[in-house]
Amino acid sequence: MQQAEPILRMVDVRKTFSGFSAVAGVTFEVKRGSIHALIGPNGAGKTTLFNLATKFLKPSSGQIIFKGRDITALLPSAVARLGMVRSFQISAVFQTMTARENVRVALQTTRDDCFSFWRPQGVLNVLNDRADALLADVGLSDLRERKVTELAYGQRRALELATTLALDPELLLLDEPTAGMGREDVGRIAAMIRRVAQNRTVLMVEHNLSVVSDLSDRITVLARGEVLAEGSYAEVASDPAVKTAYMGTAHG
Amino acid sequence: MKMNFDKAGWIVLIVALLVAPWIFYPLLLVKILCYALFASAFNLLLGTCGLMSFGHAAFFGTAAYVAGHAAKVWGLPFEACLAVGVAAAAAVGAVFGYLSIRRQGIYFAMITLALAQLIYFLALQLPFTHAEDGLTSIPRGKVLGLFSLDDNIVLYYTTAVIFLAAFSFIYLVINSTFGQIVRAIRDNEMRAVSLGYDVNRYKLLAFTLSAAIAGLAGANKAIAFKLATLVDVHWTTSGNVILMTLLGGLGTLFGPVAGALVFVMLENYLADSGLPVQLVIGAIFILCILLFRRGVIGEIERLVLRRS
What one-letter code names the amino acid at A64? I
- Determine the average pLDDT of the residues in A19-36: 92
Cα distance between residue B103 and residue B100, in whole Å: 6
CA–CA–CA angle A233, A239, A245 (5° rounding): 105
CA–CA–CA angle A99, A105, A108 (5° rounding): 140
Which pLDDT band holds residue A250 (cuts at 50, 70, 90)? very low
Interface of A with B (CB under 8 A): 54, 56, 75-78, 80-81, 85-88, 92-97, 101, 104-106, 108-109, 111, 113-121, 123-124, 163, 167
The answer as to CATH 3.20.20.140 being correct for domain A1-83+170-182+201-252 is: no
Mind telling me how many Å the CA of A101 is from chain B's nearest CA?
9
Of A44-58, A168-182, B87-101, where does the model show the most confidence? B87-101
Asked if the model's pLDDT at residue B306 lies above 60, the reply is yes
Cβ–Cβ < 8 Å for B67, B84 = yes
pLDDT for res A248: 60
Q: Which of B48, B176, B209 to mutate to test the interface with A (most CBs of A within 10 A)?
A: B176
DSSP code of A5? S
Note the ipTM here. Answer: 0.89
Region for A43 from its dihedrals, namely left if φ exceeds 0, alpha if ψ lies in -120 to 50, beta otherwise? left
Show residues of chain A in contact with B173, CB under 8 Å: 117-118
* Cα-to-chain-centroid distance, residue B243: 12
Asked if the model's pLDDT at residue A63 lies above 70, the reply is yes
Reduced to 3 states (helix: H, G, I; strand: E, B; else coil), residue A22 is strand
Show residues of chain A in contact with B195, CB under 8 Å: 80, 85, 105-106, 109, 163, 167
- Give the start-to-end residue ranges of the domains of chain A: 1-83+170-182+201-252, 93-168
- Give the start-to-end residue ranges of the domains of chain B: 23-235
Which pLDDT band holds residue B127 (cuts at 50, 70, 90)? confident
Show residues of chain A in contact with B194, CB under 8 Å: 54, 56, 76, 80, 85-88, 92
Q: Which of A75, A92, A118 minimises the CB distance to B188?
A: A92
Cβ–Cβ < 8 Å for A215, A39 = no
| b/e code B225-247 from CB counts within 10 Å (16+ = b) | bbbbbbebbbeebbebbbbbbbb
Q: Which of A93-102, A117-126, B292-301 has the lowest mean pLDDT?
A: B292-301
Partner-chain contact A85 B179, CB within 8 Å: no
φ and ψ at residue A18, rounded to 5 degrees? 35, 60
Mind telling me how many Å the CA of A122 is from chain B's nearest CA?
8
Asked if the model's pLDDT at residue A246 lies above 80, the reply is no
What residues contact residue A101 under an 8 Å CB cut-off, 6+ apart? A94, B180
Partner-chain contact A109 B184, CB within 8 Å: no
Tell me the pLDDT tens digit for each residue of B20-66: 999 999 999 999 999 999 999 999 999 999 999 999 999 999 999 99
- Find the closest chain B residue to A95 by CA distance: B187
Mean pLDDT taken over chain A? 89
On whether any CB of chain A is under 8 Å from the CB of B172, the answer is: yes
Angle between helical axes of B26-43 and B235-248 (0-180°, round to 10):
80
Asked if the model's pLDDT at residue B74 lies above 80, the reply is yes
- Determine the average pLDDT of the residues in A221-237: 90
- Determine the average pLDDT of the residues in B163-179: 96
Q: Which of B181, B183, B190 minimises the CB distance to A96?
A: B183
On whether any CB of chain A is under 8 Å from the CB of B87, the answer is: no
Asked if the model's pLDDT at residue A83 lies above 80, the reply is yes
- Determine the average pLDDT of the residues in A32-37: 94
Asked if the model's pLDDT at residue A170 lies above 90, the reply is yes
Cα distance between residue B51 and residue B42, in whole Å: 9
What residues contact residue B68 under an 8 Å CB cut-off, 6+ apart? B81, B135, B138, B222, B223, B227, B228
Asked if the model's pLDDT at residue A117 lies above 90, the reply is yes
Residue A147's DSSP bridge partners are: A98
What one-letter code names the amino acid at B87? A
CA distances from B295 to A187, B51, B161 (A): 46, 18, 26
Which pLDDT band holds residue A247 (cuts at 50, 70, 90)? low
Which pLDDT band holds residue B274 (cuts at 50, 70, 90)? confident
Residue A39's DSSP bridge partners are: A221
Show residues of chain A in contact with B192, CB under 8 Å: 105
φ and ψ at residue A219, rounded to 5 degrees? -130, 135
Which pLDDT band holds residue A148 (cuts at 50, 70, 90)? very high
pLDDT for res A252: 42
Secondary-structure breakdown of chain A: helix, strand, coil percentages, each rounded to the nearest 5: 40, 25, 35
Tell me the pLDDT tens digit for each residue of B199-220: 999 999 999 999 999 999 999 9
pLDDT for res A251: 46
Partner-chain contact A119 B184, CB within 8 Å: no
- Determine the average pLDDT of the residues in B1-28: 88
Tell me the pLDDT tens digit for each residue of B230-267: 999 999 999 999 999 988 888 889 999 999 999 999 88
Partner-chain contact A105 B173, CB within 8 Å: no
Asked if the model's pLDDT at residue A147 lies above 60, the reply is yes
Please say whether the dihedral angle defined by the alpha carbons of residues A46, A47, A51 and A53, taken in this order, is positive or negative: positive
